[in-house]
Structures are given as C-alpha cells and as structure tokens.
Structure 1
Amino acid sequence: MASQVVEDVPKEEMAPMNLDNDTANPPAPTGGPSAPPNGGLVAWLQVVAGFMIFFNTWGMITSFSVFQTYYESGELFEASSSNISWIGSIQCFLLQLTGLIAGPIYDRGYLRLLLVTGSFMVVFGLMMLSLSTEYWQALLSQAFCVGIGGGLLFVPIVSVIPMWFTTNIGLAIGIASSGSSLGGVIYPIVLYRLISQVGFPWAVRCIGFIALATFIIPLAVLRMRVRVPKPRAVVDWSAFCDAPYMVFALALLIVFIGNAVLIFYISFYPADRGFTDTSLAFYITAIFNAGSVLGRILPNALSDRIGVFNTIAPFTLLLGVTMLCLLGVRNAAGMVVEAVVTGLFSGVVVALPPVCFRMLTENKSMIGTRTGQGFAIGGLGLLLGGPSAGSILGSVDPLNWTGLWVYGGVTACVAGLILVGVRIMRSGLVLKIKV
C-alpha cells in the first residue's frame, strides 16, 4: 500500500543510536548527530531490507486475489464473496492500524523486538493457514495473525530509510516499496503452480518458508541511525484541525476502497467471465503486480522533480478511468493490457502517500505520528473496500461485474478530484509550481 510512517526529525531533537544495542539510549555527543550519509553501502542496505519487508507484507496483500479466486472455488470452505473479502480487508487494515502501536515502540529503540515478533507472526500465521479447513480458521491465521505481524514490520522500515537520506527520499522509498510488487509476482505464481502439484496446505507452507528465508536480510542489516529521545504521541489531535491534512486522509480512504476492488478481484473477474482459462486467470495477479513495479519507482522519482501532488492527483484519476475501462474487456489480450495499466497506476497510490504526509506536516518531529494516524484513517478504505465490493458483486449468477467496476472506478476518480482540491489548497490555481 502502502508505506506508512516516515520520520524526519530536526537535528536538535535527535540522539545518536548505538548500533550494537538498539535498546540503548546514549547521550548525544557535542554538536549533535552527523548529517545523513545520503548513500553508501549501509544506507542502501536499509533500502534492501525495506525491499524484503515490503516483499512479505504488501506483497502478500497484493497477492490476495489468488487466495480470493481459490477460496471462491469452494475447495477449502464455503463462503460468499463478501465474507471471503473480509479476510483480505482485515489483513490490509491491521497492517495499517498496528502502526499506531508499533510507532511508539520503535521510538523507544525496540527495533529488533519489532522485527523478530513481526517476522514470527507472519510465518506462524502462514503455517496455521496451511492447516485451516474452515472459514474462521483462515480468518484468524491470515487476516489477524499475518496482518498484525505485517504491521509490526512495516513501521520500522519506513521510519528507518529517511534517516539515511536527505535527498531522493521518494526514490529510495519507491525502490523499497517495489518489493511488494515482486512479492505480488512471485507469491501468486508459487501458490498457483504448487496447489495443483502438492495441494493448498503445502503450497502455503512453501510461501511461509520463502518469507522465513527473506526475513533474514532485514534482521541482519536493518539499523537505526538516530533515535528520537521523546517517543512520538500515538495521536496528534491538532491534525484534525489541519484542513489539507484531513482532506488528503479522506482522499486516501476513498482511493483505497477502489484499490481494494482491484487487489481482490482482478484475478477472479476473467476466470468468472471466461475471458481467460484458469491458469492465465491466476497469472493475471502476477501481471498486475509486475505492472505496479514501475508505478512505485518512476512516479516517486518524478515527484522529486515536479512535486508530489502534481504527480499523485492525475495518476489517481487515471487509475479510476482505467478501472472503468475493464467494462470493455472481452478477451485475454485486453485483460492482460488492463492488468498492466491498472497495476502501474495502483502502484502510485500505494507508494506516494508517505511523501504526501511528509509535505503536509509543518512540524517535522510529528511526521511519524501524523503519517501513522493518516494511514489508520486511510486503512478504513481497505477494510470496507473488499466486503462492500463483494456485496455489490453478489453471489448469484450472473455476478454484477458492471456494478463492481463502476464502484471501484468512480471511487478512484472521486479521490483524484479531492487530491486536486488538496493541491489547490496548498498552492492555489498556479499551474507551474512544484507542489
């Protein structure tokens, strides 16, 4: 989705961090901490660590359409589309909401505790999912256990990376967040190929083993360069009186509803309508996430040059338009093209919001708090998007695909127009200005 908490604390409020013991709080040396290195081996290793965490958090969430398609078959359990969507929606929401708790824990220096606990919960949740045979079991293991574990991991990485860069922060976060796209390519392929060969339980266990292996990298290299001596507040109440901030949070909530429609149903749609065979329908999720790789890197780099709101507003509008174009798909070729294009624009609305929150926060010491609570508000869209889309789709043939894509496309277009309004609130009607 998205990145969540980005720290940018003034030098006078920073204290150096002992890299050998991330729970220590040594006094700051005279003159304060040195400036961020803005590159170098250690700095880029943080980006690599972030790539792996995104790979195993948002990468699994963007793969949920494969689970949705498999669960819809009724081979594991019987449930309606709306009820199945609750699994992915709760997982997405908890990934965002847990940041409100993980942020203050991170500020107190317990980075290692968050990494170990979060990694364990993700892997444990997947192993328990492999043993599930009923709906409530899948809900507990995949939605709650994996969702909370992902939230504990997500906050540290998007807090650490900005501490190592002063420029090109958008690019660094974009590269890290592209890990979710790679995860969204690899996990659906692994799951689909193995379900037919070894069955669903062992297919999910193999995903768990991949997650376990890739978590070794962030556990080995992730480091806090500085630490805020005063932990952040869980909620910044003044933010609710900040009009641009609240309007942007509303836009994020709405666009996440539309994005959830894509994440959950992009694979089931061609399978149900007969545009593709079952094999290609599963691969549509991988194609969608492959398209989002460029959407997470190039627009972030572009935003460093032309402004973040000048980038995210038009791309969000285009996301809505391309979702409406799904109504015109009639064959496999059209479905593949739509998967690539919607994946590209979907990547933008996941990767750019942290940079937007950074710009909308005047007091830089509150960036972590404001970003966390902003994503908690936006996460409500992910919580509501899947089940509401499932209700629109229905459970009686023929399914209401027209209503589903109109719902998703219109919500994204409305969010894009609201983002245009935020841009105007920030800089007026002047066009040639970096905002």
Structure 2
Amino acid sequence: MAEPNGGDVPLSVLSQRHPASTDTDTVSTTEEATYPDGGWKAYSVLCGSFLGLVVNLGLINSIGAIQAYVSTHQLAGVAASSVAWIFSIYLALAYAIGIFIGPVFDRHGALELLVVATILLFAGLMGTASSTKIWHFILSFVCIGVGNGVGLTPLVGVINHWFFKRRGNSTGIATSGGSVGGLVFPLMLRHMYSTSGFVWAIRALAFVCLGCMVSAVVLARERLTREPEPLADSESKWKTLSHKIGLFSLSKLRNRTYALMIVGVFCTELSLVLILTYFATYAMAQGVSESTSYLLLTVWNATGILGRWIPGLASDYYGKFNVNILTLFGLDLCLFVLWLPFGSSLKVLYAFAALGGYFSGSILTMVPSCLAQISPVSEFGERYGILNAVLSIGNLVGLPIGAAIIGNGSVHNYTVFVGVVGVLLITGTTFWILSRASIVGTRVNVKV
C-alpha cells in the first residue's frame, strides 16, 4: 500500500518498520538541520568540485580518444592486449587509491590531497606528451592514475558536507563536470592531433587540467572532519597505527545494503568503462571512420551532461535508489534493443550514443548520492574509497579481458563483446534492486 505524501518516507522511519533496513546508517534529524544546503560558501564548493571533476572524471571519460590514437600511431606495432594494460592500470589506480584516501579525507580534509593530485596529474600528462614507447606510457599513466585516485574522493566527498536536501541535484551538477570534460577533451584532442600533433595536443590538455585543478584547490573545502575514536589499551599495534593515520576498515562491508551496492556498482561501472574504452574501435570495425568514431564519443558525453544532472535533480523528489534503478533499466534496454541487434548501422550507433550516454550518466552520478544516503557523513570518504578500490579490480582485469574477447577486431568478436557488457549491466541492475530491497523490502511506492 502506498505511503502518505506520495510514499516519501524517511529512512529513519523505515528502519523502525522493516528489520531489513537495520543495516542502513542514516543521518539524524539534528545533523540534517546543520547542513547549509545553499549560500555563497556551499555554492563555491560546488563550483570547485565541478571544475575538479571536469579533470578527474573527464580524463576517465576521454580515455577512448587517447587509446584509439596511440594504438594506431606510437604503439601501432604493439599487441592490442598490451596496449589495453596501460589503460587498465591507469583506471585501476584511479579507483584503488581511494581506499587509502577516503579515511585521510574524512579526518584531515581536502586541501593537501587536491594539491598532490594537481601535481601528479600535470606531471603525468606532460610525460604522456613525450612518450614514444610502451613503458613511457605505462609510467605516465601510473602517475595520472594516482593523481586521479588522490583527487576523486575529496572532490565528490565535499558535496556531502554542504548539501542534504539538495544533495542529489548538487551531486549531479558536480559530476556533470565529468561529461563536460568528456565532451570537450576529445574534441580538443581531435582538432589538435591534426593541427599541432600529439605532443602539443596532450600538453594543451595538461595546462587546461592544471587551471581547473588549481581552481578546485582554492574552492573545494570540507565542512567537518571525523574525530578519531578512542582505542583500548589492549588494541594491537597495527590497529593503533592504522587508527592514527586513518586507514580503512573492512568492517564496513558487514553492512548488507552497502555490500549489495558495491556488487551492483562493480558490474555497472565495469560495463560503462568497457563501453567508453571500446565504443570508438567498435564503430571503426563496422566501417566508420576514425573521426566519426570520436564524434560518437562526443555525442555520448554531450547527452551524459543531462544524464547526470536531470536524474540527480529528480532523485531529490523521487528517491536516489528509485531514480538510479530506472535509469539503469533504460541503459539495459538501449543495449539490448539498439546496440546488440543493430550495431552495424551508423544511425543506430548515433541513437545508442545519445540515449546510452544519457542513461549511463546515473552510473557515476547516483552512486555518491545513494552511498551518502546510507552513510554517516563523517564516514563517507572511507566507504567511497572502499567501493572505488573494489571497482579498481574490475578496471585492472576488465580491459585486458575485453581486449581478449575482441581479439582480431572482427565484427563477430565485437558482437560477443557487446553481449558480455549486456550481461554485466543486467547483473549490476539486479544487485541495485537487491540493495534497495534491503532497505524497504519489496515495496515499490516508497521514496528511497
């Protein structure tokens, strides 16, 4: 039966009615009242987070444009599976580092982390510009990946310090920076590859990223930090040390809702990374030109801007989990109705890029909002870091597995690849549904 007021039920009330939701950590009414949810300081933090995520998520979304170029130029004589390892290591580091950064952010704030991230990102991109051999690219992308990993958690985490009622909308706006970067960077690279060459194209990208990150360092600030809990005298030396420097605790995985969410995010995020990495080369295998394949990625990222903002805004009214699951259903349909059966048609590829880019926006946008809904704000960084570390495992092995499935790049192999991506999406959607069910059971008309 529907709840009063359109099913808008606080989680604290749900936890009293449904034993399944006792795994969920919620925000107290008193703590909720202290969130600014607006004002000059909050919006300046939002601006800083947006600019920082233009770089941190924008680079991740643009990886296909860089991989497609180096695979056919500097590393043309290198096996595709070997080239894939460069970018899989990069993506793995971009997420894995968060398991250490999250607790540091919770206890010490964002400033020092963002300064380190800025230096590493700039140095890594400048190194990439001068790379000619595979080990050059590996070292450069290791540097970029560590920089991404150091910067991502604080840039996402600061939003949850300043917004509560408008958290979905503000997170959507901030993370849409990733789509802006994913839109602008490939266009810029595509133009400069032909006019200025690879070296100056990547150097120009490095300086753009430097400007955005310096702005993020100035604007993105935390509102509170977590005080260390007292330890008993009998605690082990390792636990005492890890407690002092703020290392993660895997005890957070005992939370059933959180654990189910991690599996769901793992599968959907891995499917998204595979699509973004190989969509351009898939189009080329279908006879599409290299420039048009870049344009397909541009369409994907352009619609992704709305795909991050609109679901985030809607989630403040209809529930974070509800909106996320609906958008995942939309992406599932796009893949199985458009891409898998009709991927040989350029018109269908454009349609899939437009619709898939929109629906996929929630994969990165709604995860922080849903996680914040079931986490105390002082533990968000640690939980987000653990989640990203799990994702890094998929990113490390996922791209080489994808390259192995694609093999010689035949149309048949790419069709099998799309099928594997589809299975990952369906599995991820299922675990998101189970995560929601652990909060409210099987009821549908509930805002959660």
TM-score higher than 0.5: yes
Which of 224, 248, 253 matches 2:222?
A: 224
Matches within 5 A, 1:394-405: 394-395=407-408, 397=410, 400-405=413-418
Instruction: Tell me how far 1:11 sits from its aligned partner.
Output: 10
Q: 2:65 — aligned with what?
A: 66
In 1, Cα distance between the equivalents of 2:27 and 2:99? 18
The answer on 1:352 being equivalent to 2:351 is no
Instruction: Report the CA distance shift for 1:88/1:162 in structure 2 as closer, same or farther (over 3 A).
Output: same
Matches within 5 A, 1:1-400: 35-109=34-108, 111-142=110-141, 144-230=142-228, 233-274=246-287, 276-324=288-336, 325-327=338-340, 328-361=342-375, 365-395=378-408, 397=410, 400=413
Instruction: Report the CA distance shift for 1:112/1:9 in structure 2 as closer, same or farther (over 3 A).
Output: farther
In 1, Cα distance between the equivalents of 2:364 and 2:324? 10
Deviations along 1:72-129, one digit per CA (max 9) or x if unpaired, are 3144443333322222222222122212222233344353221211101001100000
Cα contact 2:331–2:359 (8 A) shared by 1: yes
Q: Secondary structure at the match of 1:94?
A: helix
Q: 1:28 — aligned with what?
A: none
Which of 415, 424, 428 matches 2:428?
A: 415
Q: How many residues align?
A: 407
Give, as a single letter, the amino acid of the residue that structure 1 aligns with 2:111: R
Task: Specify every segment of 5 or more residues in structure 2 that has no aligned partner in the other structure, as ranges.
Answer: 1-24, 230-242
Cα contact 1:106–1:156 (8 A) shared by 2: yes
Q: Secondary structure at the match of 1:153?
A: helix
Deviations along 1:28-70, one digit per CA (max 9) or x if unpaired, are xxxxx99332211221111111111111011011111112211
Deviations along 1:346-387, one digit per CA (max 9) or x if unpaired, are 1111111112222333x5543332222122213322223222
Instruction: Tell me how far 1:416 sits from its aligned partner.
Output: 0.8
Instruction: Report the CA distance shift for 1:108/1:359 in structure 2 as closer, same or farther (over 3 A).
Output: closer
Give, as a single letter, the amino acid of the residue that structure 2 aligns with 1:264: T
Q: 1:26 — aligned with what?
A: none
Instruction: Tell me how far 1:292 sits from its aligned partner.
Output: 0.9
Q: 1:428 — aligned with what?
A: 441
In 2, Cα distance between the equivalents of 1:396 and 1:112? 45
Instruction: Report the CA distance shift for 1:113/1:151 in structure 2 as closer, same or farther (over 3 A).
Output: same
Instruction: Report the CA distance shift for 1:116/1:8 in structure 2 as closer, same or farther (over 3 A).
Output: farther
In 2, Cα distance between the equivalents of 1:225 and 1:241? 28
In 1, Cα distance between the equivalents of 2:44 and 2:157? 14
Instruction: Report the CA distance shift for 1:179/1:316 in structure 2 as closer, same or farther (over 3 A).
Output: same
Give, as a single letter, the amino acid of the residue that structure 2 aligns with 1:154: L
Give, as a single letter, the amino acid of the residue that structure 1 aligns with 2:332: G
Cα contact 1:68–1:265 (8 A) shared by 2: no
Q: Secondary structure at the match of 1:167?
A: coil
Give, as a single letter, the amino acid of the residue that structure 1 aligns with 2:163: F
Instruction: Tell me how far 1:398 sits from its aligned partner.
Output: 5.2
Q: Secondary structure at the match of 2:108?
A: coil
Deviations along 1:286-312, one digit per CA (max 9) or x if unpaired, are 111111111111111212222222122
Instruction: Report the CA distance shift for 1:225/1:418 in structure 2 as closer, same or farther (over 3 A).
Output: closer
In 1, Cα distance between the equivalents of 2:206 and 2:34? 39
Instruction: Tell me how far 1:184 sits from its aligned partner.
Output: 0.3
Instruction: Tell me how far 1:134 sits from its aligned partner.
Output: 1.0
* Further displaced range: 235-244 or 424-433: 235-244
Instruction: Report the CA distance shift for 1:364/1:175 in structure 2 as closer, same or farther (over 3 A).
Output: closer
Instruction: Tell me how far 1:9 sits from its aligned partner.
Output: 7.9
Q: Percent identity?
A: 27
Instruction: Report the CA distance shift for 1:379/1:312 in structure 2 as closer, same or farther (over 3 A).
Output: farther
Task: Specify every segment of 5 or more residues in structure 1 that has no aligned partner in the other structure, as ranges.
Answer: 1-6, 14-32
Q: Secondary structure at the match of 2:271?
A: helix
* Further displaced range: 287-296 or 156-165: 156-165
Instruction: Report the CA distance shift for 1:262/1:400 in structure 2 as closer, same or farther (over 3 A).
Output: same
Cα contact 2:280–2:296 (8 A) shared by 1: yes
Q: Secondary structure at the match of 1:226?
A: coil
